[in-house]
Structure 1
């Protein structure tokens, strides 16, 4: 296993970040209907996410293997390449997020994503709200988690 380093994303990372997101979403959320095509996801990361949001990547010798996007106190995205799950990268991303936002964090995840629930709860997040999904693009029931120090 090669060493993984976390760093801020650059515009040149957009395609790799989108690819990590696409692979992770397909593996972790096979029953969730994606409202955007692969090309639209790639455009979104290139034109909006990386230039306008605090985007971090996990980089190994093999390339990008993870992405985390912070928006103030919100972890808006945290996705890992499926082959790299369970290696502590998500733990490192959340440690970084807590350092960047020591007053607290919140995030949304889908109710069907039980591994994510276990992961966030292990890191001290508490479920505070559940919805029927009518407010998200996927129309998938979700849950909001909050972490306070």
Structure 2
């Protein structure tokens, strides 16, 4: 899989609902993004467990969206919605800063016009800035005892 040219806009990338064949590439985006964005956070799941979770749970039973860059680059982003929760938003590392995250958040707001909530780790300062730029407000900070990574996190809320 080739990475897009640095700075190339993501206008040609299609956001679409994930199908069964998207589970592995979506999980691989999650794995690469998690490793790049959160190097100090230890995932409690192996790569194979993450892929199985996407295959058996996320794609078939959650509202899962992918950013599809076509035959050259394939799946470069994944977003998962659970009712009014934006539960996952991950982009392939080479695709950050090109507008895909903005497009995903816009889609999430369209799908949940009454409001959204999400969690992110406290160490993920770029995510804080990103969500705050999109109108999300931090409403709760925890010590991480409620997540499987045991990493302090923060809950954000967006209300129209």
TM-score of the alignment, normalized to the shorter chain, above 0.5: yes
What are the superposed Cα offsets for residues 42-95 of structure 1, whole Å, 9 maximum, x if unpaired?
A: 000000000000000001021000000000000000000000000000000000
Which residue number corresponds to residue 3 of structure 2?
Answer: none
Deviating beyond 2 angstroms after TM superposition, the runs of 4 or more aligned structure 1 residues are none
- Distance across 2 between alignment mates of 1:87 and 1:20: 16
Shift of 1:102: 0.2
TM-score relative to the length of structure 2: 0.92
Q: 1:148 aligns with which of 142, 147, 159?
A: 159
- Distance across 2 between alignment mates of 1:15 and 1:99: 26
Structure 1 position 81 matched with structure 2 position 92: yes
Structure 1 position 41 matched with structure 2 position 22: no
Which residue number corresponds to residue 28 of structure 2?
Answer: 19
- Distance across 2 between alignment mates of 1:106 and 1:25: 20
Structure 1 position 132 matched with structure 2 position 154: no
The secondary structure found in structure 1 opposite 2:151 is: coil
Give the total of aligned pairs: 149
Shift of 1:4: 0.5
Give the root-mean-square deviation of aligned CA atoms: 0.7
Q: 1:91 aligns with which of 102, 117, 128?
A: 102
TM-score relative to the length of structure 1: 0.99
- Distance across 2 between alignment mates of 1:48 and 1:79: 17
Structure 1 position 64 matched with structure 2 position 64: no
The secondary structure found in structure 2 opposite 1:56 is: strand
Q: Where does the alignment leave 5 or more consecutive residues of structure 2 unmatched?
A: 1-7
